Structure 1
């Protein structure tokens, strides 16, 4: 077996809000969205539609967002589990200082930017549904 790609699928409460969060704060781009009717795919989020799924991308990072009711329907053993994660999604970035300052100014749940023993500057942030994102950059 060869694994060629890993794309996390986040269970979310509101596709529109999650897409806005990731595009506004982290520069992700919407690749596609599936309306509630599931009769096609949209390349933009339309205000008059509700969505059950979206795929976003920023460089080599791809995240799938799936509305909670359809997520739980697709994955029965997720029933009773809380939304969010006890895992962190670690992303190496360039320009961590600017990213950190911009997010800190937005009053989001962000840890301090700190240098690690393994030569990285990093911080953690919690998204709208409780997923933990880590942003890191090698120190000089």
Structure 2
């Protein structure tokens, strides 16, 4: 496995709840985990991230919901409609509904959802 040059690591309140959300709902793959450290390395297509239950090692201040204020993670996927349907089946509300945005040379369908800890995930599909 090759590692991206930037891989965010998210502190989460409940690793099991986060794993269910990322793996079962969003379709991420579990690449490896350290169960004793409550840590998981996950990926979806070329997007890679780490999730680790809060342990104080990386904490620069008090964590309050929603975590990750001021940041959102864009993740490009092949079929945005399939993921939207899966979220609907799990009764997960979107933070921002599906929209179409045009950038200088391409157009994307995208929406934003919050994970269990409030991190914003912006899924997009270029066309």
2:45 corresponds, among 59, 66, 70, to 59
The two structures have a TM-score, normalised by structure 1, of 0.75
1:80 corresponds, among 47, 62, 71, to 62
Higher strand share: 2
Q: C-alpha root-mean-square deviation of aligned residues, in Å?
A: 1.8
| Residue pair 2:26, 2:86 contacting (<8 A) in 1 also | no
Listed as ranges, the matches of 1:87-126 within 5 Å are 87-110=71-94, 111-118=96-103, 119-126=107-114
Give the Å deviation of 1:75.
Answer: 2.3
Mapped to 2, the partners of 1:126 and 1:9 lie a distance apart of 16
Larger Cα Rg: Structure 1 or Structure 2?
A: 1
Could you say if the C-alpha distance between residues 75 and 105 of structure 1 is closer, same or farther in structure 2, counting changes exceeding 3 Å?
Answer: same
The two structures have a TM-score, normalised by structure 2, of 0.81
Indicate the residue corresponding to 1:34 in structure 2.
34
The SS at the match of 2:102 is: coil
The SS at the match of 2:92 is: coil
